Each structure stands twice: as structure tokens, then as C-alpha cells.
Structure 1
């Protein structure tokens, strides 16, 4: 009997659920009373303005108070929807594969923007990208686009190093089912101190040391450029290359049909992009950078 009951229990496939918060009824009653009070106040202002205001000064004061309260009433009414229907949403990502096969997941493009390697340290941006690359999502459908609106070779170098580290970090996340998939957050947590974790720690600290060393020097030194492809990419930074005036730089750091991690699984796409800038034409700041990303992503 018990087995038949369990087998007849329907399997939940909902992806999210919304429920009203407890104080919804109180908010609605309060909103109704508050609306009545506002209407009475506005009626009083209109009555004072039309009946009791006889001088220019009294008309000016009554009109000013009426306009001020009218603006405040509009602001309150504009935010009223958040009080009338406050909800709490519960998500169930584990049910996603019950609804659709992993092979049928939609393609996911993630845009990461940065502009200044000194105001936004490259290692912080790298950790963001690595945590996104380690999503529990089909890697062949995942693409990460890094928009460097400052056109800094330091940012490109950081992501060149991160692309190599990703081949070790992603399978480590999958194997250990990590929740914090940012290397910096993981190493600061109470993680298990086995040999594999220690190896990851050493690799990450070596990566961090090289990147921060280049940031301190303000340039990428030749000893850190290990192959001809990287050398050709960094040759684009000439003496005429500035933040406000430089050609387009596009570097495909990882390609999911070509690059694999240490376990033989394909890695997600990782593309570095620094759009062309010229002093002769406006670049529209971050809006222009995002527009370039939208055009670049398939």
C-alpha cells in the first residue's frame, strides 16, 4: 500500500511559486484609509484656494501647498502597487530538467562590463567571470563576453590567465558540487584542505600574483607572455593606443568547440572585447559598450 501511494504521488515540475506576504491585508486597509485622507486633504486645499483665498499672498500660499501635496500624493500612488500585492517568490531550479532536457536549454550569453583596471581590479572581474563559467549549465550553450571599455592590456592579460585556470577550476567545482564558485570566495571559506584543493589554491595564488604584479607595473611584461597568439594580441597596444582613441580589440580566449578542461569536457566561450573609440565621435559610455556587446553576440 505504501509503495503504491508513493508511486501515485505527482512529481512537482513547477519552476517557481509566488505567495502573498502575511501583512498584505493590513497594507490594503492602510492604503485605502491613506487614500481617503489624501483626497480629503486635496479637497481642503481646493476649497481654501477657491473660497477663502482673497489676497495674492493667500492664493500663492494655498496654491503652493496644493501643488506640493499633489506631488507627494502622486509619488505615494506611484509606489502603491508594491504595497498592495507584496509577494515572496520561491524558485526550484532543480525542476528545470524535469521540464526540458539539458540539450534543449536555450543559449545563454552573459555580459560582464569593466572600464578601469585600477578602479575595478582585474581579479575582481576575473572572479565574476569564473563563477559564471562554472554555472551548472551546458557549457556548449554558455558564452561569456567581457567588455573592457577602458581598453586595458592588464584586463586582457588577467583573462588570458583566467582562461588557463578555468580548465582546472570548472571540473573542480563540478566534482565537489561547490556553492561558492568564485575562487576568491571559496578560498576564504572553510573548504576541505585536501591535496586537490591545495593545488587549486596554489594555482589561483600564482594567477593572482602575476596579474597584480602587472597592475602595479602598469603593463604586461614579456616574461608573462608564453605563446605567439598572446604576443600578437598584446602588440595592438602601441604608443598611440589610449583609452579614448584605439581600434577594436576582439580576442576569443576560449571556444566551446575547441578548448577542453583537464577532464576532457568542453569549456564555455570566453570572449574579450574592447570596442573602437575615437575622439572624433561620441562613444556613449556604458550604453555604447552594451550596444556593442549586443551586436557582437550571435
Structure 2
């Protein structure tokens, strides 16, 4: 446990990349292989951060995926025996480490104080248990974040090795070809599974709605409000659309081109609806202007999603 905490705080062992180029060219090549900024404009996977001679800070950016516990490569270029060496280590962002240290330190203090209070009064017995539980939650969240980003170091290694044209026999042992091979392997992207699950869920819910005849369900303090379809035609349309959504889910899972095109159709339909709906509805009253503004914001978000979806074309085949 203590070794794990130490590794989280200090990061990996130092790693080195011996560049095949001079100092200026090494810096420029790595800078060209990465991006200075990523959020919120990244539409495809990239390495982003700062690349200078005296400081290199890079992270793996996956569109629509955030992870505060992922590793960064923090290092610098050095001149050694006539060769340019990029030296650094993979570690979490300093701000995250400071926050987690503060979080766990405060909870540890609460646990000690709560234990003292529990000795004096049994009614306070839950306080130290709650503090320990929150500490466990923090440790578990950190471990989960690191598990999700377990391939980031290998991926960044591949980017830096490629940019600097590092020879296999000039890399440190921890930079073996196996890491680069993992990063370069054609594994199915995570978003494929995520979208498949979402489309499957919505498709199944739509089919259940069409079969039951319940169009919407809203619960509140005064009871539930259930809205049924106005006629059987709408139920059939809803059912057909849900079946089509399941077909798109299968297409996304199998990475078929029609599913990629279907994504644009759905985005376009949602943007058109966001614009037209506030203009034609008669029940909005004074809320029409906010609804129009919200519709405009929805269109902007849809355009952003469209840019990201367009960048995923290479994951789909005919």
C-alpha cells in the first residue's frame, strides 16, 4: 500500500530517449508531432502539451474523455556526450497530487479526531468510519483513473520515439519495443464500445416504450405523470426508429461505414429539431426566447460533435 502511494506521488522511474538529431531539430520535431493546446478543440487522439528545450510536458488526449489521474511525461532535453537526450518520467499532474494529498491528509485528521470523540461518546462512532470510507473512495478513484490510463505511457512513448527516431538499442529498458507495439496496435477504440452501449440502451428503451404505449414518464412530489402515444401510428414510428437505432448500434460495433454516415444524419436531425421546435411550439410563452437561445447552443454543440465524428472516419470501413 505504501509503495503504491509512493509510486503515485513520485511517478515512474526516470526514462530516457536518445535522439538521432541535434538539439534544435529534436525540439522542433517533437513539437511538430504534438499539439500545444487540446481542449476543447481536439477531434482526434493526440499528444498535447509544452515542448521546449528546458521543459517537456506531454499528455495523451482522447476526445470526450477526461481523466485527472492519467500520467504526464515531464522532462527536459539534455546534451550528453555529444548526443541529445530527452530525460524525464511519467507522473500525475502536480496539482492533482497536491489536491489528493490535502484530501487524504484532512480525512486522516478527521479519522483521528473522530476516533478520539468516539472513545468519549459512542454516538460519534460513525465519524471515523465515514472518514476512513472517504479515504478509501479517494484511493479507489485514483486507482481507477490510473487503470483507465494504463496504456498512456506506452502511447506517449511511441509518439516520442517516432518523433526523435530513437533506435531500439538506445532506449532505456523500460522503453522496450513492447510498449511501442502496444501503443501502435489496432485495438478497438473505447468510444466504439461506449456508443454501441448507448445506442443499444436507447433502442431497447424505445422498443419498450412502443410496446407499452407509454411515450414519456415524469415523476414528481405530486405523483407520476404518464403520457401515452396519441395513436398507433406514432407507436409504430417510434418502434421502427428504435429498431433502426439497434441496427446503427450493431453497425458501430462492427465499425461499418453506414453507421458513420448515420451519425451525421442523427446530428443533423437533432440540430434541425433544436432550431425549429422553439419556433413552432405554442406552449412556450415567455420561455420562447430562452428556448431559441438554448437551441442555438445545441446547434453549436452539434457542430463540435460533428467535427469530432468526422475525424473518426478512419475507424470505419465499407
Does the pair score TM above 0.5? no
Of structures 1 and 2, the one scoring higher in RCO (CA 8 A, sep 6+) is 1
The structure with the largest helix share of the pair is: 2
Q: Which has the larger radius of gyration?
A: 1
TM-score by length of 1: 0.30
TM-score, normalising length: structure 2: 0.28
